[in-house]
Chains A and B, each alone.
Chain A
Amino acid sequence: MQVEKFYYDNKIVKAFGLATIIFGIVGMLAGLWAAIQIYYPASSLNFAPTTFGRLRPLHTNAIIFAFVGNASFAGIYYSLQRLCKARMFSDKLSWLHFWGWQAIIAAAAITLLLGKTTGKEYAELEWPIDIAITLVWVIFGINMFGTILKRREKHLYVAIWFYIATWVTVAMLHIVNSIEIPVSALKSYSWYAGVQDALVQWWYGHNAVAFFLTTPVLGLMYYFLPKAANRPVYSYRLSIIHFWALIFIYIWAGPHHLLYTALPDWAQSLGVVFSIMLIAPSWGGMLNGLFTLRGAWDKVREDPVLKFMVVAITCYGMSTFEGPMLSLKSVNAISHFSDWTIAHVHIGGLGWNGFLAFAILYYMIPKMWGTSLYSKKMATNHFWLGTIGIILYAVPMYWAGFEQSIMWKQFTPEGQLKFEFMQTVNNIKPMYWARSVGGALYLAGAIMMVINLAKTMAKGRFIANEAAEAAPLVKEHSAKKEYWHRILERKPVTMLVLSLIMVSIGGLIQLIPTFLVKSNVPTIASVKPYSPLELQGRDIYIREGCYTCHSQMVRPFRDEVKRYGEYSKAGEFVYDHPFQWGSKRTGPDLARVGGKYPDSWHYNHMYEPGSMTDGSLMPQYVWLFDKAIDTASTPAKIRAMRTLGVPYPKGYDKIANRDLMVQADSIAANLKKDKIETPANVEIVALIAYLQRIGRDIKAEPKKPLADNK
């Protein structure tokens, strides 16, 4: 048979690789800065774009989509060509994909710092960027499938199954979660409200972890680990079982982010049991990785690439066991809203994603430059710095999370809460400090890698087009009966459709009843839409990223009801587009803050939090005090809300600003009584209006005796 000559495109891999390195450093720096702000709030520089509420989304988006995203693309473009024995389908599409993705990242960085956000975690980017992501993702899909279809290898290797599942699932998640109604060029409201928005968001958020941070990276592991160790993959059978089980089960587990919230109990239970069932499929990946190293452990001692991989896979195993444990309601009651979650995700982020990304960079770059790594010793030092960094990061956070959560729950024998919120915060400040040291070490290691890789590149010569040869694929009908899954591996489109079916089932079963069955969100008659001023205030709350530190969800626990007020009910959030339940309580819950303090308290607190709460970690929000409320946007916002089904009267958009000013004047007058002079049309007034409204409506509801609730 005639052997064909062709060339692998290394240039695109190089581009994605460099982007990985650059955005990795940027993302880590943003994280370190945010970490320092937690114990040293003045480092926000009193400058809106660099406060924690805007920096934290920048950090998460940069790490997930820019660092891990680019690393996955680099690894996929490198491995896919070699596993298909073909050059990428189209160089043009490759570059469109590359520049499109980098443009999205740049746009994301700018808009997030400017406070343009949807207020939904890990999906903060506004609607024009959402559309751009969809387009670039389609380009990537066409390019990937084009390559697969013109392959010279009969069967698809397990890495490619993971790439296919990644592509199809991320597309589904992104589109469903991003349905929103535009209000202006860079502002939109989520189509969903309250409980439904929360369920969709965490179905997305959880599976962003599953299908953006796990499946593509598992695919990379399946290619780069056997290559680096020069060992056969441990078990094909395990690959099949754990792949299909993983993608089927993962999608169901989203509600474990909403345990003990106003989400219906049945959905919470599904989240629990599917998380538990996820242990084995996840560990299947770990086993296939670690057992592949059987007979090659002597190499691990020598080779930094394998060292990084071993720790990465071990961290993967740890966090995929911890995750299901955190999904048990009794454990979640302690871990949720605390720093425990932060520790958990960083075992995954720093350990699994970070270390695997480093490993593949250390593997690919010398290969593509036709040389060896500049300094093995430096890479080994990077490995140790990183490992110590992870430990120094995680241990204090586990400690802080557990300790603070236990303090929140303590009572005196007389039945009073034993600790005020601020006391619990003061107690863990040293841990916040230690965590930032861990993060700094990890970053220092990454910088060592940059130097090492730059020297490696300087040492070698870049091979832009790597020659390869293989026989073309011919249609042959062999009489030999093939194993059923082998047949599937010859049919990429069938694989795509099957994957889509597998990942759709869980989502549909959870989402549809929550939307259609009325009893899931019982109506509360006294819950009314926000006033125009409150709506503007809410948008300021979202813009400043308040949800990154404050939850709005009182769980049905004795301590939370004592501390914050009556626990939250599903019917309270029906006009919340988007929901703002939050996931972390660096500050106290705000679900019942309305009416808790005087207006002047909020005024002083937002200007200088320390003046009202001694030792507060909150940054100052000085710009809210002279920036005028954007009243020009009010009519469009009211119209958008009406479209979403919020019952404002017809034509209210035209008179909304009149009501807005009446309410603003009354707040200004109220402040004046406490010797505070302020114009009525500034943002702080709108924010106070919103804060004073949160969680109040339900108090107008006739009280039910305790016995009726049983």
Chain B
Amino acid sequence: MRNKLKYIPALLTGLLVFNAQPVWAAGPPAPSPFNNPLAITLMVLMLLLLIVIGILGNILVGTADFKMKKKKKEGGGQAAATVLMILGLLASTALFAQDAGTNTTTTTASGTIGGMSSSLFYIMAAVIFLELFIIIAMLINIKFLLKVEKEKYASVAEMEEAKKTRLSWWDRFNKLKPVSQESELDLGHEYDGIRELNNRLPPWWLYGFYLTIVFAGIYLWRFHVSGSGPSSEQEYNRSVERAELRIKEYLKAKGDAVDENTVKWMTDAADVAEGKVIFEKSCVTCHLANGGGSVGPNLTDDYWLHGNSAKDVFKVVKYGINAMPTWQNAYNNKQIAQVISYVKTLHGTKPAGAKAPDGVLIKEEAPVADTAGKKPAADTVKKEDKKLVMN
């Protein structure tokens, strides 16, 4: 019972932090911190540190107790003071957490950090630093108490003796009994020589288990009851929207906006060379390095399946058609313009072993893109139909 009581301050503080939620979630203009991953992380961190403080407090009280028994005269006051100090600090953390709660609703107008109001962020950060400070202070205290204890023993033998019954932080952390007192825990079970002890459950294990159960509850609540957690589909749609915005802004800033409506053959040698690199990487498996065609059609003759203007060829490469894959996911518009410009240089090279002509004969690029695009279109459709039937 006594052990259980010790956790109450920590638990209470935890509850205070949690209970404060509706207060700050209520203000409609404020984005609820409970939907903000950063805020949740910080809160979890605060809570975890509180638990650590609770455990350390426990150890500190225990060490002080131990000392008190040994040296009744001096020990008592100090131990009591330590306890008081811990309680005081715990309470102050709780107050800070409360403050954090009330502040949010009033400061929504100010700037944000990671999607949460900056003042809330700073307050939470301050609480975390304070908690860290307390932990360090406690650790120093524990170290000090233990050191004092060590010096008390006159002989090595005495110290060894004490060591056997004294518990290390590891033993306390796991609630382990010294091996020498093991017989007290023996249950008297015996199976083929195997005996069983009945050690208490390591507290961190047990409370960790509870924590995962709490996590499970919150998770299911968030994703399937309150609806504040996104479904896979919502997550996807959001990521696409955000990316589209980012790309638009990037392209606007860059001022490079070639597309199927504005594309022209590039004649700059550097561009054509770039196009050649791309061609050799991605096109040669089907069209061969000389453009003569194998799986894909011959690119060097005067026969075109889908038109021969820069705009037409650009569209075929960018979006794909029939067996031709789409390349817009692998290459940007400029790169596609480069590769089609390289293809243009292959025109008329008449490589050996080229594939038989396919498509419509178009001797030269028509001066007006419109007519060039339209005229073969009818034939193309017919061709496509035939292909689909065969597939």
Stretch at the interface among B10-18, B59-67, B234-242: B234-242
7 smallest A-B Cβ distances: which pairs? A280-B209, A598-B323, A273-B216, A556-B236, A232-B195, A235-B199, A415-B247
Q: Which residues of B contact A599 (CB under 8 A)?
A: 323, 391
| Closest A residue, CB atoms, query B219 | A273
| A280 in contact with B174 given A237-B200, A269-B223, A692-B391 (CB within 8 Å) | no
| Closest A residue, CB atoms, query B327 | A416
Q: Is A413 a contact partner of B240 (Cβ separation < 8 A)?
A: no
The verdict on B110 contacting chain A, using a C-beta distance below 8 Å, is no
| Closest A residue, CB atoms, query B325 | A596
Q: Is the interface of A mostly helix, strand, loop or mixed?
A: helix
Q: Is A277 a contact partner of B213 (Cβ separation < 8 A)?
A: yes
Q: Which residues of A contact B191 (CB under 8 A)?
A: 83, 153, 155, 157
Q: Is A416 a contact partner of B220 (Cβ separation < 8 A)?
A: no
Q: Which residues of B contact A260 (CB under 8 A)?
A: 232
Q: Is B208 a contact partner of A280 (Cβ separation < 8 A)?
A: yes
| Closest A residue, CB atoms, query B191 | A157
Q: Is B199 a contact partner of A417 (Cβ separation < 8 A)?
A: no
Report B310-325 CB contacts with A as 1/0, cut-off 8 Å.
0000000000000101
Q: Is A280 a contact partner of B233 (Cβ separation < 8 A)?
A: no
B247 touches which of A414, A563, A674 (Cβ 8 Å) = A414
| A601 in contact with B236 given A236-B196, A269-B219, A284-B205 (CB within 8 Å) | no
The verdict on A291 contacting chain B, using a C-beta distance below 8 Å, is yes
Q: Is B234 a contact partner of A669 (Cβ separation < 8 A)?
A: no
Stretch at the interface among B19-27, B126-134, B328-336: B328-336
The verdict on A16 contacting chain B, using a C-beta distance below 8 Å, is no
Which of B191, B224, B286 is most buried by chain A, counting CB atoms within 10 A of its CB? B191
Q: Is B199 a contact partner of A557 (Cβ separation < 8 A)?
A: no
Report the minimum CB–CB distance from A265 to chain B (whole Å).
Answer: 5
Q: Which residues of A contact B198 (CB under 8 A)?
A: 235-237
Q: Is A411 a contact partner of B236 (Cβ separation < 8 A)?
A: no
Stretch at the interface among B38-46, B179-187, B368-376: B179-187
| Interface residues in chain A, defined as those with a beta carbon under 8 Å from any beta carbon in chain B | 79, 82-83, 85, 153, 155, 157, 223, 226-227, 232-239, 241, 245, 260, 265-266, 268-269, 272-274, 276-277, 279-281, 283-284, 287, 291, 294-295, 411-417, 420, 555-558, 561-563, 567, 595-601, 604, 611-613, 666, 669-670, 674-675, 692, 706, 709-710
Q: Which of B202-253 contact A (CB under 8 A)?
A: 202, 205-206, 208-209, 212-213, 215-216, 219-220, 223-224, 231-237, 239-240, 243-244, 246-247, 250-251
Q: Which residues of A contact B215 (CB under 8 A)?
A: 273, 276-277
The verdict on B201 contacting chain A, using a C-beta distance below 8 Å, is yes
Which of B251, B286, B331 is most buried by chain A, counting CB atoms within 10 A of its CB? B286
Q: Is A276 a contact partner of B390 (Cβ separation < 8 A)?
A: no
The verdict on B192 contacting chain A, using a C-beta distance below 8 Å, is yes
How far does the alpha carbon of A295 sit from the alpha carbon of B213 in the complex, in Å? 33
B176 touches which of A232, A291, A414, A604 (Cβ 8 Å) = A291
Report the minimum CB–CB distance from B193 to chain A (whole Å).
Answer: 7
Q: Is A415 a contact partner of B243 (Cβ separation < 8 A)?
A: yes
Q: Is A238 a contact partner of B391 (Cβ separation < 8 A)?
A: no
23 inter-chain pairs at a CB distance below 8 angstroms, sorted by A residue, are A157-B189, A157-B191, A157-B194, A226-B194, A233-B194, A233-B197, A236-B187, A237-B198, A239-B196, A265-B232, A273-B216, A273-B219, A280-B205, A280-B208, A287-B202, A291-B199, A414-B247, A556-B236, A558-B240, A595-B391, A598-B296, A670-B391, A710-B234
Q: Which of B257-287 contact A (CB under 8 A)?
A: 282, 285-286
Q: Is B329 a contact partner of A274 (Cβ separation < 8 A)?
A: no
| Closest A residue, CB atoms, query B334 | A414
How far does the alpha carbon of A573 sit from the alpha carbon of B355 in the complex, in Å? 39
How far does the alpha carbon of A83 sit from the alpha carbon of B234 in the complex, in Å? 55
Q: Which residues of A contact B136 (CB under 8 A)?
A: none
How far does the alpha carbon of A283 sit from the alpha carbon of B209 in the complex, in Å? 10
Given A227-B193, A260-B232, 20 new contacts (CB under 8 A)? A157-B191, A157-B194, A232-B196, A234-B197, A236-B197, A265-B223, A266-B224, A272-B219, A277-B215, A279-B208, A280-B209, A413-B246, A414-B247, A414-B333, A555-B232, A557-B236, A558-B239, A562-B329, A613-B285, A666-B390
